[in-house]
């Protein structure tokens, strides 16, 4: 049994890791542009299953009504929530050979009512991630990356935040809780600050872009991804909209991380 691990984590997070991209950190010139847009959803909003929290009464007690899965959340205005929109570095010549300062702010992943908040989170490689809990039950946070280091740590009630980071870009990293099989979040890690997650209005803004050619990807955990190319001139603001539809669900590309397939019971303790 170990406790007091948070101190170690804090020490670890202060290590300076080398930037993923060689070259000097980009300095804004005043010519930067902006890309804005929205992500629409076409067709009827799919019905989400109701999550059963019977396995842990502490979780259930925090909710006064049914809690729905967040695999596909369609907003009242017909847009799609929880879409990770970001600049694809490998196909965006405007970012070639440029590196960007890592935000000094921490990204936060909260656990409240045995649900992750937010459901989709973006941050930069090397940026500090604080994992918080507001629950009176033990969580076990378990990101399952492909190219970053996998970790798996329990967080008892009243714990200090876990301080973590991911060293490499990776879109997306599923996060689950080994105690509560319905808990699921996705973390998008990029090595630049040009990313956003759509909220209740389905809109996104990517600011401070060096003028040039970009490929923007909109990634949804269930509906897959879409890309669009756009050229941003000096001080220009461009609009890029994406549309997903219900019949795109279950396409092979999203099979590997379909939250609906998380089994209610798996026999492990």
DSSP designation for 26: P
CB nearer to Cu ion: give 139 or 192.
Answer: 139
CA 200 – CA 208 distance, rounded (Å): 23
The smaller minimum CB distance to Cu ion, of residues 91 and 140, is found at: 140
Strands across the sheet containing 184-190: 120-124, 184-190, 170-177, 139-143, 153-155
User: Of 71 and 87, which has the nearer Cβ to Cu ion?
Assistant: 71
| 180 vs 222 by CB, closer to Cu ion | 180
Block residue for tokens 């929290």: 53
Contacts of 132 (CB under 8 A, 6+ apart): 108, 109, 110, 111, 161
Nearest position to Cu ion, beta carbon: 177
We find the least distance from the C-beta atom of residue 107 to Cu ion, in angstroms, to be: 19
Closest contact distance (angstroms) between CB of 115 and Cu ion is 9
Rounded to whole angstroms, the Cα distance separating 230 from 237 reads: 11
- Contact between 246 and 46 under an 8 Å Cβ cutoff? The reply is yes
Q: Which residues of 175-200 are buried (b: 16+ CB within 10 A; e: fewer)?
A: bbbbbbbbbbbbbbbbbbbbbbbbbe
Residue 53 vs 177, nearer CB to Cu ion:
177
In the complex, which residues of this chain contact Cu ion (CB under 5 A)? Answer: 139, 177, 179-180, 183
CB of 185 to Cu ion, least distance (A): 11
Helices (H), the chain: 6-13, 57-61
Residue 120, strand partner residues: 186
For Cu ion, the closer of residues 181 and 211 by Cβ is: 181
DSSP, collapsed to helix, strand or coil, labels residue 9 as: helix
- Give the shortest CB-147-to-Cu ion separation in angstroms: 25
Nearest distance from residue 81's CB to Cu ion, in Å? 22
Q: How far is the CB of 134 from Cu ion (least distance, A)?
A: 12
């Amino acid at each position: 049994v170990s406790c007091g691990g948070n101190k170690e984590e804090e020490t670890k997070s202060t290590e300076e890791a080398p930037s993923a991209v060689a070259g000097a950190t980009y300095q804004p010139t005043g010519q930067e542009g902006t890309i804005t847009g929205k992500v629409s959803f076409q067709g009827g909003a799919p019905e989400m299953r109701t999550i059963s929290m019977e396995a842990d009464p502490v979780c259930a007690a925090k909710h006064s009504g049914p809690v729905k899965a967040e695999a596909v959340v369609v907003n009242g205005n017909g847009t799609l929530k929880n879409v990770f929109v970001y600049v694809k570095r490998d196909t965006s010549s405007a970012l070639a050979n440029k590196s960007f300062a890592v935000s000094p702010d921490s990204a936060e992943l909260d656990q409240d009512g045995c649900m992750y908040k937010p459901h989709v989170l973006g941050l930069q490689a090397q940026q500090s991630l604080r994992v918080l809990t507001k629950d009176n039950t033990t969580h076990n946070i378990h990101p399952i990356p492909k190219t970053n280091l996998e970790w798996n740590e329990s967080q008892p009630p009243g714990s200090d935040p876990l301080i973590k980071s991911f060293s490499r870009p990776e879109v997306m990293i599923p996060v689950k809780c080994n105690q509560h099989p319905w808990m699921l979040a996705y973390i998008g890690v990029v090595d630049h600050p040009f990313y956003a997650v759509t909220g209740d209005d389905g809109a996104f803004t990517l600011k401070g872009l060096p003028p040039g050619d970009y490929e923007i990807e909109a990634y949804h955990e269930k509906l897959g991804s879409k890309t669009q190319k756009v050229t941003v001139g000096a001080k220009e603001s461009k609009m890029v909209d994406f549309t997903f539809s219900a019949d795109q669900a279950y396409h092979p590309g999203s099979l590997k991380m379909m939250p609906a397939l998380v089994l209610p019971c798996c026999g492990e303790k």
